[in-house]
Amino acid sequence: MFVFIVRRVLNAIVTIFVISIVSFIIIQLPPGDFLTSYAASLKAQGDTIAPQQLDALREAYGLGQPVHIQYLKWVGKMLRGDFGQSLEWQLPVNKLIWSRLMLTILVSASSILFVWAVAIPIGVFSATNQYSFGDYIATFLGFIGLAIPNFMLALVLMWVGFSVFGQDVGGLFSPEYQSAPWSWGKFTNLLGHLWIPMLVVGTSGTAGLIRTMRANMLDEINQPYVETARAKGLSENRLTWKYPVRVALNPFVSTAGYALPELIGGVVITAVVLNLPTIGPILLRALLSQDMFLAGAIVMLLSILTVIGTLLSDIVLALIDPRIRLD
């Protein structure tokens, strides 16, 4: 088990290293270095920046140096928790994104719980009642959930909330709690708002996992050990949940790792539509205004988040399935 975890962690570190290169490329992609675009945007606003100041900034970011030195500087700063400066906001990047990152994790984690809580029972039901009316309904709903883009569902929910209940369902907090310090009231207020993004992000993820769960269960349900348990007189309900479900969950957990990247992407776009104080809207704004330090840092953090999530799901998988850790 220890060897397994060490190997997985090493794997994750390599992945994170490659991610850092990709993020750095993203920062470098727009033509010209970012100070040129910074100076241009200042000029557009009627401001000017002294050439000396520009040179000093260039020096500070090491922009005159070869690319690999720039990369090392960027990574080195990041390891010390300094993600650079957002040009648009004139703030250090980490100040801008920490609280948003926490809320992003919260929304993602609750969406995962939602997906599991819905997909597992429905998948099991679909398999044990294969080709029944309920199975068809579940399959059909699953397909619909897969076909509706996240932002569409968010839009429709907002429209319904607006035209039927006459209120804005966006955001994560009511206006009075928006900038208030954390309190019990703020927390319950958050829970009251959380279910909409949870539902929106969860629907598309659920569809795929219902199908996975159903297929896994169908593979297990005709195995001899199930028959044995049934012959011993176990009630059908206990039998299902005690034996085949536990085995069927294994591939499920491993696909959950693959579902995570999609889920995080879903959180980003849903947050833009619902105007959540998470990382999505700020990423979009950064990209639209070519604030590349901010954008690169966000892509990097979101990817690291995903890698960690996948790592955790791998470890959970190894815990429940000895075959994997002995491999």
Minimum distance, C-beta of residue 102 to other proteins, in the bound complex (Å): 17
> Rounded to an integer, what is the distance from CA 266 to the centroid of its chain?
7
With respect to other proteins, which residue has the nearer C-beta, 146 or 239?
Answer: 146
Q: Which residues bind other proteins (CB under 8 A)?
A: 15, 18-19, 22, 26, 29-31, 143-144, 146-152, 155-156, 158-159, 162-163, 168, 170, 258, 260-262, 264-266, 268-269, 272-273, 283-284, 287-288, 290, 295-296, 298-299, 302-303, 306-307, 310
With respect to other proteins, which residue has the nearer C-beta, 128 or 150?
Answer: 150
With respect to other proteins, which residue has the nearer C-beta, 168 or 176?
Answer: 168
Minimum distance, C-beta of residue 268 to other proteins, in the bound complex (Å): 6
Say how far apart CA 120 and CA 313 lie, in whole Å: 16
Minimum distance, C-beta of residue 271 to other proteins, in the bound complex (Å): 11
With respect to other proteins, which residue has the nearer C-beta, 202 or 296?
Answer: 296
Minimum distance, C-beta of residue 266 to other proteins, in the bound complex (Å): 7
Minimum distance, C-beta of residue 212 to other proteins, in the bound complex (Å): 14
With respect to other proteins, which residue has the nearer C-beta, 85 or 303?
Answer: 303
